Amino acid sequence: MAEPVQTPQAFPTRIFSGIQPSGSLTLGNYLGALKRFAQKQDEGIETLYCVVDLHAVTVWQDPARLRQQTREIAASYIASGVDPKRSILYNQSQVTAHAELGWLLSCVARIGWMYRMTQFKDKSGANAENASLGLLAYPALMAADILSFRTTHVPVGEDQKQHIELARDIAAKFNHDYKTDFFPIPEPLIEGPATRVMSLRDGTKKMSKSDPSDASRINLTDDADTIAKKIRKAKTDAEPLPDTVEGLEGRPDAKNLVNIYAALADLPLAKVMEEFAGAQFGTFKPALADLAVAKLGPITAEMNRLMAEPDEIDAILGRGAERADAIARPIVAQVYDIMGMIRSRQV
Ligand code: AQP
C-alpha cells in the first residue's frame, strides 16, 4: 500500500504529471504513470495531467504525427481512468505559463546540473554537440511545468526521479536567491511494483516507447494476438520460477515478468510468487498474456473509440487548458513580480 500523501510545508496538496507525445504509450507508461494518475484522482486530490508537447519537440517530430500522438496520449489518459471533469487534462503548448516560467527557471538552473542528467547523456548519445539546446534544457521546462501550479507531489516512474530532484533544486535555489518561500519543494511519488517496467528483450533496460525494437514493449495500441505473441517471445532464463521474491534476484527477465503480473493483478509480489512457485515459463507466460489482454483490451477499445472523435479530444484539451491557465497565470505573474519585472500593461 502507498503511504498517504503528506503535504510539504504550508501548500495545499496538488498533483501534476505529464507524458510526452513522442510515440505510442507502452505498458511501462501505463503501469508506472497512467494507472497511478487515475488512482490519485480517485483519492479526491486535485490533479493536473498534461500532454507535454513542448518536450516532445526536443527531438524532431513530424507535425501531423505530433498532432495525432497528442490526441492519442489524451485518449490514453481518459481510457485509463483520468476523468477530464475531475482532473485538469490539457496539452502543454496551450498554457503559455509553462514556456514563460521555463525561461525564468532556466536562468536559475545551472548548465552543469543539466549536463549531469543521465537522460540527456542517453538521448544525446555520442554526438551531444549536435543535440538540440532544448534537449539539454528540458529539465528546466519540466521544473516549470511542476512549479507553474506550485505542485506539491509528482507521480512518476523511477526514470524521472533525477529530473524531479533537479526541479527540487531549482525551486530551492529560486527561494534562496530571491529570499522567499514562494515555491514548495515538490515530492516525487514513485510507488508500487511497476515503477520501472523493463524491456521484454532485455530485463536490464527500461521499456521505452522510442526503443527501435517493437518486440521490446507492449504498446497500448497492440491487439490481443500481438500482446500474447510478445509475451510468448519475451526473454527469460531456463529456470522455473522460485517460491520467494528473494529468489528472483539476479534474474532480471523473470523478475520483470513477475512484477508486470503483480502490477496488472494488483497483487503483492509475494502472493504472485506463492501462486506460481516452481512454475515453468510455459505455464506462467500464457497466464500473464491472458491477464494483460484482460486488463489492456478495454483500454485499447476505449482509446480507439475516442480517437474516432478527434474534435471531441481537442475540445477536452481546450477546456482543460483554460482551467490550467487560470491557476498558472497568476502564479507566473507573481514570479515576475518577485524577480523585479514591471507589469504595467492594461489587460
Ligand atoms: N518503463 C517504464 N516503467 C515505469 N514507468 C515508466 N515511464 C516511462 N517508462 C516507464 C513513466 O511514464 C511517464 C511518462 O514518460 P514520458 O513518456 O514523458 O517519458 P519517458 O520517461 O522518457 O518515457 P519513455 O517511454 O522512455 O519515452 P521516450 O522513449 O520518448 O523517452 C513518466 O512518469 C515515466 O517515469
* CATH code of the domain in which 273 resides: 1.10.240.10
Query: What are the backbone dihedrals phi and psi of residue 45, each rounded to the nearest 5 degrees, phi first?
Result: -85, 150
Same domain, 219 and 189: no
Same domain, 153 and 238: no
Q: Is 230 in the pocket of ligand 1 (CB under 6 A)?
A: no
Indicate whether 209 belongs to any domain. no
Same domain, 176 and 296: no
pLDDT band at 193 (very low <50, low <70, confident <90, very high): confident
CA of 280 to the centre of ligand 1 (A): 30
Same domain, 73 and 129: yes
Sign of the Cα pseudo-torsion (121, 192, 6, 42, in order): positive
pLDDT band at 127 (very low <50, low <70, confident <90, very high): confident
The residue among 300, 279, 301 whose CA lies nearest residue 288 is 279
pLDDT band at 1 (very low <50, low <70, confident <90, very high): very low
Predicted confidence at residue 192, as pLDDT, reads: 83
Q: Are strands 153-155 and 187-189 parallel, antiparallel or unpaired?
A: parallel
Q: Which of 163, 208, 257 to mutate to test the pocket of ligand 1 (most atoms within 8 A of CB)?
A: 208
Same domain, 257 and 296: yes
Residue 173 designated active-site: no
Predicted confidence at residue 8, as pLDDT, reads: 54
CA of 45 to the centre of ligand 1 (A): 23
Predicted confidence at residue 210, as pLDDT, reads: 83
The residue among 241, 221, 246, 213 whose CA lies nearest residue 307 is 221
- The CATH number of whichever domain residue 13 belongs to comes to 3.40.50.620
Indicate whether 346 belongs to any domain. no
**Average pLDDT value over all residues in the chain:** 95
Q: Report pTM.
A: 0.93
The count of domains in the chain is 2
Same domain, 78 and 225: no
Same domain, 242 and 106: no
- Identified catalytic residue from 35, 40, 121, 123: 123
Per-residue model confidence as pLDDT tens digits over 71-89:
999 999 999 999 999 999 9
Domain span at residue 270 reads 214-305
Give 80's contacts (C-beta < 8 A, 6+ positions apart). Answer: 30, 34, 35, 37, 38, 299
Angle between helices 97-106 and 133-147 (to 10 degrees): 110
Q: Ligand 1, residue 207: give the atom nearest the CA.
A: 1
Half-sphere exposure of 95 (CA within 13 A, CB side): 37
**3-state SS assignment for residue 26:** strand
305: which 3 cell numbers? 473509440
Same domain, 116 and 14: yes
Predicted confidence at residue 9, as pLDDT, reads: 57
Residue 209 designated active-site: yes
Classify residue 264 by its DSSP letter.
H
Residue 271 designated active-site: no
266: which 3 cell numbers? 494488483
Same domain, 164 and 17: yes
Q: Ligand 1, residue 25: give the atom nearest the CA.
A: 25
Q: Is 220 in the pocket of ligand 1 (CB under 6 A)?
A: no
Predicted confidence at residue 6, as pLDDT, reads: 57
